[in-house]
Chain A
Amino acid sequence: MGFWQRFLQLDRKWIFIGIAIVVIIPLIKPLGLPIKPTKPVIDLFTYIDTLGPESDPVMVVTGFDPSTMPELMPMEQALLRHCLTKGIPVISFGGLYPAYIGMAKMAIDEVSADFPDKKYGEDYVFLGFIPGVSAVILSIGIDIATTFGNDYYGTPIDSLPMLRGVKNYSDISLVVDVSGSSTPEYWLMYAQERYGVNIGVACTAVSAPAFYAFLQSGQFVGMLGGLKGAAEYEELMARKGYPTGRRPATIGMDSQSLAHLLIILLIILGNAGYFIVRRGERRQGIIRRKK
C-alpha cells in the first residue's frame, strides 16, 4: 500500500489530535493575528457608539445556553461593556427560555464588576425570565412594567430609577438579541415589524447566513456573526480606547484560524491523495486490460 492510500485511510484519532493541538496552543500563547472589522459589525458598533447617557436604554437580550457560550458570551460581554463605558442605560433581559437566565446573570455580574462606579437600578437593570416567548416580545411593546412586574431581584419595576419613563419599545433605542437559535426572527416579526424598534443581532456563525437577508434589507441595524463578529467588536472597542477586558474572542480567533488552516490542509491533501490513487488504479486497470 502506497503513501497516499495509507493517508486516505488515516485514523481519525490523528485528526482529532491535530485539531486539539492547533486549538490549545494559541489559547496558551496568543498569536495576535490582525482582526479586520466588517460592515455588519461596524454598523452595530457605530449605532451604539452614537448613543450616550441621555439616550433611551439599550436592551441586551440573552438568547443562548451553555452550549454556545464560548461563541456568544464574548459578544454579550463586549456589548454590555460598550454600553456601560459610554454610560448608555442598559436593560439586560434574561431571555425567552429558562436556560438562558444563568448566562445572562454571569455576563452582567462579570461586566458590572469592572465598572464599580455604575449603580444597579440607575445605570443598568436586570430583568429575569418570563414564560411566553412571542407573547413576551409583544407584551413589552405594550408595557414593560406589566410584563415583568419585578426585576430579577424582586424589586418592582416602577421603583427602579432607570426605568422611570421607560414604558415600552418607544422608549428603547435598540434591542440586541444575543442568540444561539432563531429568536432574532421573533424579535423581527413581533418587535421590529409591529412596534418599529431597532434590532441588532449577535448570533452563532452557523445561524448567521439565515440573518443576512434581514441585514441587507435594513431590518437589522447590524450583526455580529460568530466568534469572528465578537473579535471584530472587541477590535473596534480597542481602537476607540474603550476597556475590552481580556478580549476572549480575539484570543479564540487565533485558535479558529489555525483550526481552519488545518482543515483546509487536510481537504487539499485528501483530494490530492484521492486523485493520485484513482489515477494509479486507472493505470493498473489499463495495464491489466492490455495483458
Chain B
Amino acid sequence: MKKRVPLVITFVTGFIVIISFFIPHRPFGPLETDTLIWYSIILGFTLLIGVDSLVRLHVRQMRRRKAGWWYSIVFFAGFFYCLVIGIMSVIRTPNPFQPGTIFFYGYKTILIPLQSTMFALLAFFVASASYRAFRARTLEATLLLVAAVIVMIGRVPAGYKLWTRLPGIANWIFNVLQMGAMRGIMIGVALGAVAMSLRLILGIERTYLS
C-alpha cells in the first residue's frame, strides 16, 4: 500500500498532464492548469518541510558544537529577522517592498549588498582560474583556449576597437560552433528527460519511493 498509492498518483497525474498537453480542450485543457495549481500547493508544503529540516539541522549543529557551529547563529539571526520583520511589514502595510518599510530597508541594505558581493567575487576567481587552468597542453585544450580568447575579446567594445572584424568572428563561434554543440546537448537532455518521465509514470523507476 505504501508503494502502490504513490505509484497510482504518479501514473494518474502524469497521464493527465500528457493528455491535456496534446488535447488542450475540455475536459482535458483546464486539467493541466488544475494540476499545476495542485503542484503549487504541494510546493508550498515542501517549502515548510525544507524550513523545518534546515532549522533542525542548525539546532543539531549548535547542540553538538560542531565545527563552525557559530554560523548557525548567523542563520537564526537572518531567519528570525526575515520572519518577524516580514510578518510585521505585511500587517502594517499591504506591500512589504514599499519604500520606507523595515522589510524593504533590510532588503536594500543587507540582501542586495550581500548577494551582489557574492556574485561580484566571481570576477576575481574567474580571472585567477583562467590564468592557472587555461594551458595549451593538448590540441583540444588549444582549440578551447583560442575560441575562448576570441569570444572574450570579440564580445567587448575593446575587441571592436582593436579589429572591427573581431565581433563578427566571435558571433560566428557563438552562432555556429557553440550552437551546434549546444543543440546536441539540449536534444540529449530532452530525450533523457522524456525517457526518465516515462519510466516514472509507468512505475519502472521507483527510486523516489525509498
Q: List residues of A whose CB falls within 8 A of some B CB.
A: 10, 12, 15-16, 18-20, 23, 33-36, 38, 65-70, 101-102, 105, 109, 128, 131-135, 138-139, 142, 152-154, 194, 205, 209-210, 212-213, 216, 226, 228, 231, 253-254, 256-264, 266-268, 270-271, 274-275
Q: With A65-B115, A260-B152 given, is the CB distance from A132 to B130 under 8 Å?
A: no
Per CB-CB distance, the 7 closest pairs between chain A and chain B, nearest first, are A33-B157, A135-B36, A257-B158, A66-B115, A67-B115, A66-B112, A132-B40
Contact of B157 among A34, A109, A213, A226 (CB under 8 A): A34
A37 → B minimal CB distance (Å): 10
Beyond the given pairs A36-B160, A216-B175, A271-B134, 8 more chain A to chain B contacts, judged by CB atoms under 8 angstroms and listed by A's residue number, are A18-B127, A67-B119, A69-B116, A132-B40, A212-B175, A253-B157, A266-B130, A271-B136
A109 proximity list for chain B (CB < 8 A):
99
Interface residues of B in 91-130 (CB under 8 A from A): 94-95, 97-99, 104, 107-108, 111-116, 118-120, 123-124, 126-128, 130
* Alpha-carbon distance between A18 and B134 when the two chains are bound, in angstroms: 18
Interface residues of B in 25-76 (CB under 8 A from A): 32-33, 36-37, 39-40, 43-44
Residue of B nearest to A128 (CB): B95
Q: Contact check, A209 vs B128: say whether CB atoms are below 8 A apart.
A: no
* Alpha-carbon distance between A254 and B160 when the two chains are bound, in angstroms: 12
Contact of A213 among B98, B153, B159, B179 (CB under 8 A): B179
Q: Contact check, B156 vs A135: say whether CB atoms are below 8 A apart.
A: no
* Alpha-carbon distance between A213 and B118 when the two chains are bound, in angstroms: 30
B120 proximity list for chain A (CB < 8 A):
70
Q: Contact check, A212 vs B178: say whether CB atoms are below 8 A apart.
A: yes
* Alpha-carbon distance between A228 and B160 when the two chains are bound, in angstroms: 12
* Alpha-carbon distance between A31 and B114 when the two chains are bound, in angstroms: 29
Q: B interface, by DSSP: helix, strand, loop or mixed?
A: helix
Q: Contact check, A266 vs B161: say whether CB atoms are below 8 A apart.
A: no
B117 → A minimal CB distance (Å): 9
Q: Say whether B147 faces chain A, with CB atoms less than 8 Å apart.
A: no
* Alpha-carbon distance between A152 and B183 when the two chains are bound, in angstroms: 39
A168 → B minimal CB distance (Å): 13
Q: How many residues of B contact A (CB 8 A)?
A: 57
Contact of A19 among B99, B115, B127, B171 (CB under 8 A): B127
* Alpha-carbon distance between A287 and B97 when the two chains are bound, in angstroms: 72
Q: Say whether B24 faces chain A, with CB atoms less than 8 Å apart.
A: yes
Number of inter-chain CB pairs below 8 Å: 156
Q: Contact check, B183 vs A213: say whether CB atoms are below 8 A apart.
A: yes
Q: Say whether B174 faces chain A, with CB atoms less than 8 Å apart.
A: yes
Return 6 A-B CB contacts under 8 Å, by A number.
A15-B124, A16-B124, A101-B97, A135-B33, A210-B186, A257-B158
Residue of B nearest to A12 (CB): B128
B155 proximity list for chain A (CB < 8 A):
205, 226, 228, 260
Q: Contact check, A264 vs B115: say whether CB atoms are below 8 A apart.
A: no
Q: Contact check, B131 vs A270: say whether CB atoms are below 8 A apart.
A: yes
Residue of A nearest to B116 (CB): A66
Q: Say whether B206 faces chain A, with CB atoms less than 8 Å apart.
A: no
Q: Say whether B145 faces chain A, with CB atoms less than 8 Å apart.
A: yes
* Alpha-carbon distance between A274 and B131 when the two chains are bound, in angstroms: 11
A164 → B minimal CB distance (Å): 23
Q: Contact check, A23 vs B156: say whether CB atoms are below 8 A apart.
A: no
Q: Contact check, B161 vs A212: say whether CB atoms are below 8 A apart.
A: no
Q: Say whether B132 faces chain A, with CB atoms less than 8 Å apart.
A: yes
Q: With A70-B116, A101-B97 given, is the CB distance from A267 to B158 under 8 Å?
A: no
Q: Contact check, B186 vs A213: say whether CB atoms are below 8 A apart.
A: yes
